[in-house]
């Protein structure tokens, strides 16, 4: 299982976060950056709690599990 964790800075000085499960693999870095720019430009969260200003952190996590018994 893999996921992206994104943390955005907001115009009010707080942070907003989201998780994207099972992202498409092998995307070029430029495509990921373009998608993040579109999220910020279109302000995908409730603006009453602060509009998106910039990306603070992006992590790609892979979890592997092996059944032993």
pTM of the predicted protein model:
0.82
CA distances from 3 to 14, 19, 36, 46, 55 (A): 23, 7, 15, 23, 17
With H, G, I as helix, E, B as strand and everything else as coil, classify residue 44.
coil
pLDDT score recorded for residue 45 = 81
Taking alpha carbons only, the member of 55, 53, 10 closest to residue 29 is 55
- For the stretch 1-59, pLDDT in tens is 899 999 999 999 999 999 999 999 889 999 999 999 999 999 888 778 788 999 999 99
């Amino acid at each position: 299982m893999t996921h992206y964790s994104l943390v955005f800075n907001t115009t009010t000085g707080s942070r907003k976060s989201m998780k994207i499960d099972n992202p498409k693999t092998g995307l070029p870095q430029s495509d990921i950056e373009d998608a993040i720019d579109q999220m910020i430009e279109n302000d995908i969260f409730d603006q009453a709690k602060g509009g998106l200003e910039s990306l603070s952190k992006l992590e790609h996590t892979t979890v592997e599990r092996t059944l032993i018994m």
